[in-house]
Structure 1
Amino acid sequence: MTNGNMKKMRFYRCPACGNLLFSTDDADVTCCGAKLTNLVMHKPDEENALQIEHSDGEWYITAPHEMHREHYISFVAFLTGDTMIVKKQYPEWGLDVRLPYIRHGMLLWYCTRDGLFYQNI
């Protein structure tokens, strides 16, 4: 996946079952009998921002974000030119993610209330 193709990535989340789905370009994606629309990426506001630091050869990602069944970050993903790493998150867990240190990429995360966010690293 080249850097240009990274911009073509599409993410979907089923509102019925919570499945995370993705495609590398436009696609007709369905889950639980419903057609899904791709999630629109937003820059985070202060409430949805993550803390990212380089620690012990890894990216260490945390957030004071709520992690309750009604409102939580359901996944964190890191995209580079040819790699996508996805870490599923669960309500009632604190957000505490370690990812391999790759110098440049795009960090994505999905808040169940506020949507899909991104930050370039």
Structure 2
Amino acid sequence: MLRIKFHGCPICGNVVLGTGEAIINCHGIVLPDLDAEIPDDEHRMTIEKIEDEYYVEIAMI
């Protein structure tokens, strides 16, 4: 989880998740890393453990 990086396309809004070092392209441009933001009520994250698995949900209002 500590290696996850999000990359966002400024043209189409596509978001790509990477778990290691990568150069990601969209529309012929290299996508920049997205910076983490402080969570708020509109983007609340819930984690639920069911048996041996974790389910993560991010609310997008």
TM range (shorter): 0.5 to 0.7
1:15 to 10, 24, 32: 10
AA aligned opposite 2:48: I
| Partner Cα distance (1:105, 1:7) in 2 | 17
Q: Give the % identical residues.
A: 26
Is 1:29 matched with 2:42? no
| Partner Cα distance (1:34, 1:107) in 2 | 30
| Partner Cα distance (2:55, 2:2) in 1 | 11
Output one character per residue of 1:73-94: Cα deviation in whole Å (capped at 9) or x when no partner. xxx6x6xxxxxxxxxxxxxxxx
TM-score normalised according to structure 2 size: 0.64
Q: CA deviation at 1:42?
A: 2.5
Which consecutive unaligned segments of at least 5 residues does structure 2 have? Answer: none
TM-score normalised according to structure 1 size: 0.36
- Provide the aligned length of Structure 1 versus Structure 2: 54
Stretches of 4+ aligned residues off by more than 4 angstroms: 103-109
> Which has the larger share of strand?
1
Which consecutive unaligned segments of at least 5 residues does structure 1 have? Answer: 1-5, 51-62, 64-75, 79-98, 110-121
